[in-house]
């Protein structure tokens, strides 16, 4: 579960104002909105990269507003993946995982198990995104934040990845907040959020 209560934040000249919403445990929420509307800022606040100037952030019913990122159990797939270039694919995926079988499991689910010994530099854009997804999933976070994680994938691989998310969520209480510009990515969404110019313009439940 992710809950934001009256979040305010400033990043340079940009400000996020009075953002409040609740995403129930196990839900797949999509966050849409124009460029520079505050979507990435909101993810960074929930992940702990930024501290809000006001309001409260709760993850799994715990106030994490001022909690260090490593203690939040929040996984993050940033927009460009940010795979560690000095580590190979396996080392990237095992980076935060305490259980290596979890790494093998997510690698198999997302079809990247054949890439394990490759260097990061040799991967295509889509492969990088899938490896970044697996790296974030391997530590088994309770919340996963995705910042346009499937943008470099072709339609069939994107659909396959979304189906894997749906499957993962049916097996666990993983809560997903997914920033996207792709309408097709909303197929499995149960909550829809829309940002506009630093405020939450709309919240809707699309499925139950």
Partner 1 sequence: MRVVVGRFTLAHGAAWVLGAALLLFLAVPIILLVVLGAAGIGEALRDHETIAALEMTFGTAAVATVLAALCGSPIAYALSRRSFRGRTLIAAVVDLPLLIPHPVAGIAILLLISRNTTFGSALLDLGLRVVGTPAGIVAAMLFVSAPLYISAAREAFARVDRRYEFVARTLGDTPWAAFRRVTLPLSRRGLASATIVTWARAVSEFGAVVVLAYNPKVVSVLSYDRFTTGGLRDALPIAATLVLVSLVPLIALRALRYDRSNEAVS
Q: Which of 2, 136, 146, 189 binds partner 1 (CB under 8 A)?
A: 136
* Cα–Cα distance measured from residue 88 to residue 115, given in angstroms and rounded to the nearest whole number: 9
Stretch that binds partner 1, among 83-91, 109-117, 163-171, 172-180 (CB under 8 A): 83-91
Select 49 or 155, whichever has its Cβ closest to partner 1.
49
Give the total of residues touching partner 1 (CB under 8 A).
21
Least spacing, CB of residue 69 vs partner 1, in Å = 4
Least spacing, CB of residue 59 vs partner 1, in Å = 12
> Quick one: which of 144, 5, 135 has its CA closest to 64?
5
Q: Which of 7, 74, 131, 193 binds partner 1 (CB under 8 A)?
A: 74
Backbone angles phi, psi at 71, to 5 degrees: -105, 10
| 13 near partner 1 (CB under 8 A) | no
DSSP secondary structure string for all residues of 124-150: -HHHHHHHHHHHHHTT--SEEEEESTT
Least spacing, CB of residue 89 vs partner 1, in Å = 15
Stretch that binds partner 1, among 80-88, 100-108, 122-130, 162-170 (CB under 8 A): 80-88
Distance, CA of 102 to chain centre: 18
* Cα–Cα distance measured from residue 16 to residue 69, given in angstroms and rounded to the nearest whole number: 20
Please answer whether residues 29 and 9 qualify as being in contact, where contact means their C-beta atoms are separated by less than 8 angstroms: no
| 69 near partner 1 (CB under 8 A) | yes
């Amino acid at each position: 579960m992710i809950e934001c209560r009256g979040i305010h934040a400033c990043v340079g000249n940009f400000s996020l104002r009075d953002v409040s919403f609740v995403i129930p445990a196990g839900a797949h929420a999509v966050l849409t909105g124009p460029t520079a509307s505050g979507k990435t800022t909101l993810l960074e606040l929930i992940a702990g990269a930024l501290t809000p100037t006001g309001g409260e952030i709760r993850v799994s019913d715990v106030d994490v507003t001022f909690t260090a990122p490593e203690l939040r159990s929040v996984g993050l797939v940033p927009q460009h993946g940010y795979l560690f270039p000095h580590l190979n694919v396996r080392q990237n995926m095992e980076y935060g995982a305490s259980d290596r079988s979890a790494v093998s499991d997510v690698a198999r689910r997302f079809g990247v198990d054949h890439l394990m010994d490759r260097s990061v530099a040799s991967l295509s854009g889509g492969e990088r995104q899938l490896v970044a997804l697996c790296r974030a999933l391997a530590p088994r976070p309770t919340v996963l934040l995705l910042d346009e994680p499937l943008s470099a994938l072709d339609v069939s691989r994107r659909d396959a990845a979304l189906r894997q998310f749906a499957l993962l969520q049916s097996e666990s209480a993983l809560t997903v907040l997914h920033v996207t510009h792709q309408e097709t990515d909303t197929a499995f969404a149960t909550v829809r959020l829309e940002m506009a110019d630093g405020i939450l313009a709309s919240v809707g439940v699309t499925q139950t």
